[in-house]
Chain A
Amino acid sequence: MDLKELIVEKVKEKFGSALEEVTDFRDDLSLTIKKDQIVALGKFLKEDPDLEFIMCRDITAIDWATRKKRFTAVYHVYSFKLNYTLRLKANIDDDPPTIQTVTSVWRSADWYERETFDMYGIKFINHPDLRRMYMPEGFEYHPLRKDFPVLGIPGSLPLPKRAE
């Protein structure tokens, strides 16, 4: 069986209607899952003996600005066994945006989720240490959101007082 068919088949069988969308664009397979199933899906992909997606390579998000489900969390996971990179997505509709952390599945998700929190303000529930990554502590905004001006918000980042 084709590799992608195998993955989709297995996930469909296990998650049924929680699997919202499957896209295959230029050989990149993406699975869109209901957001409350993301940890279960990660665990399944990692532990299934035929798949073994043991590496989480990247976590980021998309800000759609005008959509009702404004944010989409995006995960890239990799299987050494299949030599294949799979993309997982979860649409987030609540405000402020929240989603369960996948650090219990992949430890490497820790800093990726911190970065995503810093840039998009998505709160990862049960994350062990959800602090900002790039921006200083105490900064109130999330720079990669579409409504954040590229030149920043004047006065939001304090500078030291000018010496004489």
Chain B
Amino acid sequence: MGLEAKLQQDGFITTTIDAVVAWARKSSVWPMPMGISCCAIEMIAAADPKYDIARFGSEVMRFTPRQCDLMIVAGTVTYKMAQVVRRIYDQMPEPKWVIAMGACTSSGGMYRSYSVVQGIDQFLPVDVYTAGCPPRPENLLNALMTIQEKIGKTKARDFQNRTLADLELAQN
């Protein structure tokens, strides 16, 4: 890689803290697999050797929200489940991002009914919406790359000075 070659020449490189932190963050986005229904199967497929989400540094699917910074909401969110999804989201440490995977999470999808939330952006701040029912793994990887691009543009100070009240950790 270019980095080693550079180090052999001069022994040091110059950069900014922001660039290093953003680069580290975007290269190790640990997902919280919120696989609620059929979309989860495609999310799992994205992790298998054929699609290999590890190429993007995101192979570490953590089943505890405390170790994640990306929530992939993959599946139909009912009003009953919305409370749980939000509670798990609240437990994730800042900074954090959300992918709404599939038609159901983005808009309610084909479930135009009393029990399904018509779009999770009613209670979560969504960063990337993924079209499809279900979206193909490539589509999820594309969403991940879009998130990486977004993270790459952040600065360390974007996430400072947030009080507990800001984070709304308290139960709603």
Contacts and interface: CB of A to CB of B under 8 A. Distances in A.
Contact of B114 (A151, A159, A161, A164): A151
Interface residues of B, number: 21
Contact of A162 (B87, B113, B115, B123): B123
Contacts of B15: none
Nearest to B166: A164
A161 B82 CA distance: 11
A149 B122 CA distance: 21
B38 to A, nearest CB: 18
Given A143-B114, A150-B114, A152-B115, A163 B79 contact: no
A95 B87 CA distance: 39
A148 B90 CA distance: 33
A153 B82 CA distance: 17
Contact of A136 (B79, B90, B113): B79
Please tell me the size bucket of the interface on A.
Answer: 10 to 19
B168 interface: yes
A134 B115 contact: yes
Given A164-B125, A164-B166, A159 B82 contact: yes
Interface string B51-92: 000000000000000000000000000011011001101100
What 4 pairs between A and B have smallest CB-CB spacing?
A152-B114, A160-B86, A157-B79, A160-B172
